[in-house]
Structure 1
Amino acid sequence: MAIYFDSVYGADSVDHFIPKSDPINGKKLAYEWSNYRFCCLGENRKKRTEVPPLDPFDPLMKQDSFFINFADGSIYPNPDYDETYKQKCLDTIDALQLDRPDCRNMRKRHFEKYARGTVSIKDLEEDAPFIYQEVVRQGL
């Protein structure tokens, strides 16, 4: 599924999930399709050589790992999961800087447009699938 990248994230990019500089698997996976992730340039640059603990392509990653507080746009781990998994969520948020002010504002802006009726739920699903998923989960 293709999604819209908000300008807060920068240009479209492709990322090596396991960095080429990884001393164990970097060279081996540098040209493997399974190691590529469509992402945005800003987050790719922030990640640098760090491998976030959670990979969205990992079948073991839980679908509802992250929640949004629409009052301030912050993102946080699902409180129902065990402490180890929640820490992986927090480490991923930290590694990719997903809770910085511009990201919070972007999430809040998408939600407010939906709440005012400026965009439909279908528009939200198409342009901001994470916000859409949270609106549905929260019954908003």
Structure 2
Amino acid sequence: MIYVKPQPEPSDFDKKVRVKGIAHLKAKGIALNKALPSGTEVTPLWRESLTDLHVAYGGICAYLGMFFERVAGSSVDYFIAKSVSAKDIYEWSNYRLACSTLNSRKREYNTVLDPFYLAPDLFRLQLSTGHIYPNPSLSPHAMRLVELTIETLSLDDALCRDTRARCYQEYVKYKLDNDYFRSKYPFIWLEAYRQGLLLT
């Protein structure tokens, strides 16, 4: 994971999502300043913003730090879960672009660091294997927060490891353009840069 710069909401987001969403909640008698009651179904107006979200964040999954095509499963992760805050269900600032796999892993857990407020140099990557791990120089508290994020999202499982390792291997094998590589795999690029392993 790396820091993700929050992008401004689209000009039509308020009309398409927020206004209709809040009206829907009020019509159902849901208090905006409280958690969404368990089992309550709400209209999925956030789907209206999926294309905008994918474009705004360059198709980069906020948790993997890698590009994914929309056809592979583009989804909205509510960083503040619906079960915690009803008023944030239809808020652009609460949306994180995530591939379907990572979104399903994140769910409603609050043990994941927010990419929008991520300090630099928390995560390290072994490029040859794709192994992700906390920066060894972190304080014990920061170390545990990073470990919990990795554990909750299963960022170091075989699937994630293999994908990261393959992306770097293809970059080297095919001598991919550095700007292209950075635009598609910013976390891997950053680690290759830090380790002095970018192609020149």
TM-score range, shorter chain: 0.7 to 0.9
C-alpha RMSD over aligned residues? 1.7
- Alpha-carbon separation, structure 2, partners of 1:51 and 1:91: 10
TM superposition score normalised by structure 1: 0.86
Map of 1:124 onto structure 2: 181
TM superposition score normalised by structure 2: 0.62
Matched pairs, number:
133
1:79 aligns with 2:136: yes
> Any gaps of 5 or more consecutive residues in structure 1?
none
> Any gaps of 5 or more consecutive residues in structure 2?
1-56, 61-66
Per-residue CA deviation, residues 42-98 of structure 1 (Å, 9 max, x unaligned), is: 11111121123310112xx21221110123111011112111101100100111111
Q: Does structure 2 conserve the Cα–Cα contact (< 8 Å) formed by 1:3 and 1:126?
A: no
Q: Does structure 1 conserve the Cα–Cα contact (< 8 Å) formed by 2:77 and 2:103?
A: yes
Map of 1:20 onto structure 2: 82
Give secondary structure in 2 for the equivalent of 1:14: strand
Map of 1:101 onto structure 2: 158
Give secondary structure in 2 for the equivalent of 1:75: strand
Moved over 3 A (4+): none
- Alpha-carbon separation, structure 1, partners of 2:188 and 2:83: 33
Identity %: 38
Give secondary structure in 2 for the equivalent of 1:45: helix
1:35 aligns with 2:94: yes
- Alpha-carbon separation, structure 2, partners of 1:104 and 1:33: 31
User: 1:6: how far off?
Assistant: 4.0
Amino acid of the residue matched to residue 20 of structure 1?
Answer: K
